[in-house]
């Protein structure tokens, strides 16, 4: 074997080692998923290196990369796509071109990205909104919101709430031909968090007369109090979303002060005076038995009050919808929740399903045994199309 061939062999082995990750046998298209993850991991590693050099915040670097996947608001043969502002928040509006004899459904969608990245213009979100508008014969509003690290909680929440409140005005619904009795909200990941939070907030807003018929939450992030749930432990280094990255997202939502992130990872960010909140996220009583097996619930470690006083957002129900009491949950609309087996956020969704059902809310729960974080929105994967089909069929039947 020549020296050149040996170098190529060694290079190939190193590349395969970098890309390869052991996966469960039930994961569909494992090598394609590994390749997508390797691409993302490379970008994250480079962004981390740039941050270590003090040149650029990691989230700002990732945001720049995501911007290359944005597409203009271009109409096609089935859907008219426009951009406008709802209460100064940029949104994309998707309206089916075919004529309708009745008022259409309306769906308000919130993109994911850890409150730090993404937009309604990202290609996969744009396609999702087009498909939903066309197949559901619905007006889809895909909203933007200001992002961390430049903006922190409650800015993201307020932007989404203000855009949604604007959409729910009678004059706006009439302009787009939307039936005020058939409006839903949906979002994935951080967008699922914001969808759950604003849906709760709407219940107490006397100025918003039109209420939501459904909420559809796709692997939502619902609480930062306990980031050592069984799903965080089992999937701490899984593809697409690791525990460390999710904790960084949570921390950046509230502050660029890395001390909060460190305290969260050591489970010492919640002060003892807020100990009563753990009853809302106690996985030992809220998770189905099969997700508890092999895990032992440990009582929380309490930290000082300093972080909670500086960054009270992580104890705020608007950032952590799982902290809502049962009285609030009881009034929520018909709900659809997607959770994925190989996702650190799995147990957030599972606990919310349990609490909603205990509060008397009708819930359809789609647990995806071969799913992982991002399975819904990475459209180059077959699993994404399967989940989107199930999601749209549920919307057809319930919205």
Active site residue 373: yes
Q: Which of 343, 348, 377, 384 is catalytic?
A: 343
User: Residue 70: beta bridge partners?
Assistant: 122
The CA-based diameter of the chain, rounded to the nearest angstrom, is 78
- Total Cβ atoms within 10 A of residue 211: 15
- Total Cβ atoms within 10 A of residue 18: 12
Active site residue 343: yes
The set of residues, in sequence order, having a beta carbon less than 8 Å from that of 287 and lying 6+ positions away, is 230, 347, 350, 351, 354
Cα–Cα distance for residue pair 216/188, rounded to 1 Å: 9
**The token pair that represents 198 in the structure block:** 């604003």
**The token pair that represents 152 in the structure block:** 């922190």
**The token pair that represents 309 in the structure block:** 């006083």
Q: If you write DSSP's letter for every residue of 118-160 in order, what string do you get? A: --TTBHHHHHHHHHHHHHHTEEEEEE----TTTS-TTHHHHHH
Cα–Cα distance for residue pair 180/399, rounded to 1 Å: 11
Active site residue 61: no
Q: Which of 189, 242, 251, 384 is catalytic?
A: 189
* Catalytic sites, residue numbers: 189, 343, 373
């Amino acid at each position: 074997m020549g020296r050149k061939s040996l170098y190529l062999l060694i290079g190939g082995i190193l590349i395969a080692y970098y890309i390869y990750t052991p996966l469960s046998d039930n994961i569909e298209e494992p090598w394609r998923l590994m390749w997508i993850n390797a691409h993302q991991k490379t970008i994250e590693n480079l962004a981390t290196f740039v941050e270590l050099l003090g040149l650029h915040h990691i989230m700002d670097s990732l945001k720049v990369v995501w911007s290359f996947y944005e597409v203009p608001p271009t109409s096609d043969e089935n859907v008219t796509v426009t951009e406008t502002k709802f209460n100064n928040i940029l949104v994309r509006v998707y309206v089916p071109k075919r004529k309708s004899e009745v008022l259409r459904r309306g769906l308000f969608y919130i993109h994911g990205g850890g409150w730090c990245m993404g937009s309604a213009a990202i290609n996969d979100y744009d396609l999702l909104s087009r498909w939903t508008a066309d197949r559901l014969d619905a007006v889809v509003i895909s909203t933007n919101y200001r992002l961390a690290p430049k903006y922190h909680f409650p800015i993201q929440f307020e932007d989404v709430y203000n855009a949604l409140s604007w959409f729910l005005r009678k004059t706006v619904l009439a302009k787009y031909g939307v039936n005020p009795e058939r409006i839903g909200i949906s979002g994935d990941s951080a967008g699922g968090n914001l969808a759950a939070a604003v849906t709760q907030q709407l219940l107490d807003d006397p100025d918003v007369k039109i209420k939501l018929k459904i909420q559809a939450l796709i692997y939502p992030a619902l609480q930062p109090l306990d980031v050592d749930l069984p799903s965080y432990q089992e999937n701490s280094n899984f593809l697409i979303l690791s525990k460390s990255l999710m904790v960084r997202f949570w921390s950046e939502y509230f502050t660029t002060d890395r001390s909060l992130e460190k305290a969260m990872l050591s489970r010492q960010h919640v002060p003892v005076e807020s100990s009563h909140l753990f009853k809302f996220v106690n996985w030992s009583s809220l998770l189905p038995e099969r997700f508890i097996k092999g895990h032992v619930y440990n009582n929380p470690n309490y930290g000082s009050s300093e972080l909670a006083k500086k960054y009270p957002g992580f104890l705020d129900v608007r950032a952590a919808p799982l902290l809502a009491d049962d009285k609030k949950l009881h009034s929520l609309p018909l709900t659809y929740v997607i959770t994925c087996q190989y996702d650190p956020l799995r147990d957030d969704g599972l606990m919310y399903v349990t609490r909603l059902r205990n509060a008397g809310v009708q819930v359809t729960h789609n647990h995806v045994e071969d799913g992982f974080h991002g399975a819904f929105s990475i459209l180059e994967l077959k699993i994404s199309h399967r989940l989107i089909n199930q999601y749209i069929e549920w919307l057809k039947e319930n919205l």
